[in-house]
Amino acid sequence: MTAVASLLEELLEEAIATRRVLERVPGDKLAWRPHAKSMTLGQLALHMATIPGNVANLAQLDGFDTSQANFEPPSPHDVQELAAALEQSLQTAESLLAKMSDQSAAANWRLTMRGVEVFSKPRIAILRSLMMNHWYHHRGQLSVYLRLLDVAVPVIYGRSADENPFT
């Protein structure tokens, strides 16, 4: 199995837990934030939903200049938007990754800031860190937001304080 095929398989497996977390987001709390410096619940959830597709699109390029980025995440209008965004994002990522050759995956991808290189890494490493690890990080954040809102935290990799898949 190629590195890209393995990553794609992982993406689709992890999508199951991501859906469970997003399904718990309460629609009446989308504007809530745990701290003034934090994203709102809605912003975080929508950001998490769109990571796979957005990063897969970025990985099609030879690099990206961060001065072109908008780091203010949008807010969803309702929780239905979260599910739709995740499904679209997964469809985009799956389609783009399925077409990626081993040669393209091994090619260097550059992150720059106003033309100055921040780093250069193989594209597959960018997909691992910016798509998968970034996704997991924000999914963990979202589960903490749910806990703070006293929403039952779903199973992700095993039992949570609210659910036990082994009983």
Nearest to 43 by CA among 16, 77, 89: 77
Mean pLDDT confidence for 6-18 = 96
Range of lowest pLDDT (23-27, 41-45, 48-52, 99-103): 99-103
State pLDDT tens for residues 57-74: 999 999 999 998 888 899
Return the pLDDT at 167. 82
State pLDDT tens for residues 96-126: 999 999 999 999 999 999 999 999 999 999 9
Helix 79-99 × helix 3-23 angle, to 10°: 180
* Residue 82, phi then psi, degrees to nearest 5: -65, -50
Return the pLDDT at 166. 86
State pLDDT tens for residues 118-155: 999 999 999 999 999 999 999 999 999 999 999 999 99
CA angle 85, 88, 89 (to 5 degrees): 80
Note the pTM of the prediction, 2 decimals.
0.94
Map out the domains of the chain with their CATH numbers: 3-148 (1.20.120.450)
| pLDDT of 87 above 90 | yes
Q: What does the alpha-carbon distance between residue 10 and residue 128 come to, in Å, rounded to a whole number?
A: 10
